Structure 1
Amino acid sequence: MPDVGDLVTARLDVSPADETTAAVLVVTLPDGSTVSPVTTSADSGAVWTAPVAYTMAGVWRLSWTVSGTGASVEHELVSVAPAPGVVSNRSYATTTDLANYLRAAPPVDAAHLLEGASRMLDALVLKHCRYDVDDDGMPSDTEVAAAIGRAVCAQVAWWDDLGDSRGAAGAGWGSVGIGSVNLGGKSADASDGSDSAARQVAPQVWDELRAPHLHDRLYVGAVSVPW
């Protein structure tokens, strides 16, 4: 599977083919726009090639139209992945932060995991907290920012321990209480993954956010999360 930024050579084999054979390539990008790369053949029309630069993630369609001998229309769908390590959404921690937290090399999808943990804590924890933010909604106090970053890393570390970051393995937990936080589990046959341990806030998250030196800068309110 190609990544964004890859430059590849698209190829079409035509049979039968002769000097009358000609091939045109139209590339449809994921956003619906089209480009027509220059096509060439070095063997009297039997093999045609064209350069294609994948500039965005998504599904691309390569459509070849052959005229003359061997006339035909051929379509190919190509799935293009985002460039590795690209962070497209807000994240409270970097992969370096995670490496330092784990005291080990982070997983190759660390940026994606940190994004997911940041979204999860935004939805379940941080919206109940009070702290100063900048114009982008990020914590403006450096120690608060560091604590929230460690909390996000703690959530990723929890997922690593569980071997599950998406809640695919429903555990059928019952009610769990951590301080003022109450987590109630669904039945073991729940199919949406919400009863998985991976969808629980990691206990270490609360330790990071409730560190004594943050009491006058970061208020963690009572949180009730019904599952």
Structure 2
Amino acid sequence: MPDVGDLVTASLTVDPAGVTTGASLVVTRPDGSVVTPVVTGSDGGATWTAPVSYTLAGIWRLSWTVTGTGASVQHEVVSVAPAPAVMADVRSYATTTQLANFLHAAPPLDAVELLERATRLLDSDFLQPAVYDMDDDGMPTDPVVQAAFAEAVCAQVEFWGEVGVETDVSGPLQGVVIGSVQLQYGAGANRSGPDYYAPGLSRALANIPSDKLRWIVFTGGC
């Protein structure tokens, strides 16, 4: 599977082929735009090649049209992967270096994506009722909170490495206790089991001093 930025040589073999054989290539990009690379023939019309530069992630379609001897239309679908993410590309409470130090081992190759995902989980499922100092990007500014959030997402990534990454949490958070605060969202059929979260995640949050992070307790009513 090619990655974004790859320049490849697309090729087509025509059989039968002869002096009247011709070929053209139309490349449809994932955004629907079309390019027509320069096609070169060889082997008496039996082999045709063209340079294709994959500039976007997604599904590309390469459509060859052969005329003359061996006339036909052939389509090839190519899946192009995005360039591997780096920490500068994502929002994350921890770096891959912090993850490696937490694991005491080399981080997985998809560590950047896992840290980003764990950060989104922390934001959506735990930090909605939390109040702490942050910058314009919503990142914590206090070193103690920064360290705790980093530990929390690293614990979640370690947990996923042990039990597998769930596609999503089946419902709102239920029954997590952090200090004197009980976080409970949803009800009834919306309950989600505790196995979606790393035990170390809530422990990391519970260890943050109350003067660094406080929780808004929702009591209901108007």
TM-score interval w.r.t. the shorter chain? 0.7 to 0.9
Aligned to 1:66: 66
- CA offsets, 1:168-187, max 9 Å, x none? 8x9xxxx7553433569x99
**Aligned residue type for 1:18:** G
Quick check: 2:27–2:34 contact (8 Å CA) kept in 1? yes
Tell me if the contact between 1:129 and 1:218 (Cα under 8 Å) persists in the aligned partners: yes
SS of the aligned residue for 2:97 comes to helix
Q: Where does residue 107 of structure 1 map in the other structure?
A: 108
Residue 39, structure 1, aligned to residue 35, structure 2: no
Length-normalised TM-score, structure 1: 0.81
Please say if 1:178 is aligned against 2:177.
Answer: yes
Please give the secondary structure, in 1, of the residue aligned with 2:43: coil
CA RMSD of aligned residues (A): 3.0
Give the conservation status (yes or no) of the 8 Å contact 2:176–2:202: no
Q: Distance in 2 between matches of 1:73 and 1:33?
A: 20
Q: d(CA) in 1 for partners of 2:183 and 2:141?
A: 29
For 1:10, the equivalent position in structure 2 comes to 10
Q: How does 1:160-199 map to 2 (within 5 A)?
A: 160-162=161-163, 164-166=164-166, 177-179=176-178, 180-181=181-182, 195=193, 197=195, 199=196
Counterpart residue number, 2:143: 142
Q: 1:153 is matched with which residue?
A: 154
Match of 2:201 among 202, 205, 223: 205
Partner residue in 1 for 2:20: 20
Q: TM-score, normalised by structure 2?
A: 0.82
Structure 1 gap ranges (5+): none
1:66 deviation in Å? Answer: 1.3
Shift of 1:140: 2.5
Letter in 2 for 1:178: V
- Does the 8 A contact of 2:10 with 2:49 survive in 1? yes
User: What is the Cα deviation at residue 138 of structure 1?
Assistant: 1.7
Equivalent residues of 1:92, 1:118 under 8 A apart: yes
Query: 1:32 offset after TM fit, Å?
Result: 1.0
- Matched to 1:149, the amino acid is A
What is the aligned length? 213
Unaligned residue ranges in structure 2 (runs of 5+)? none
- Give the superposition deviation at 1:210: 2.8
The code of the aligned residue for 1:215 comes to S
Mapped to 2, the partners of 1:181 and 1:33 lie a distance apart of 52
Does 1:133 find its partner at 2:138? no
- State the match for 2:75 in structure 1: 75
Q: Percent of aligned positions with the same letter in both sequences?
A: 55
Query: Does 1:219 pair with 2:214?
Result: yes
Amino acid at match of 1:139: P
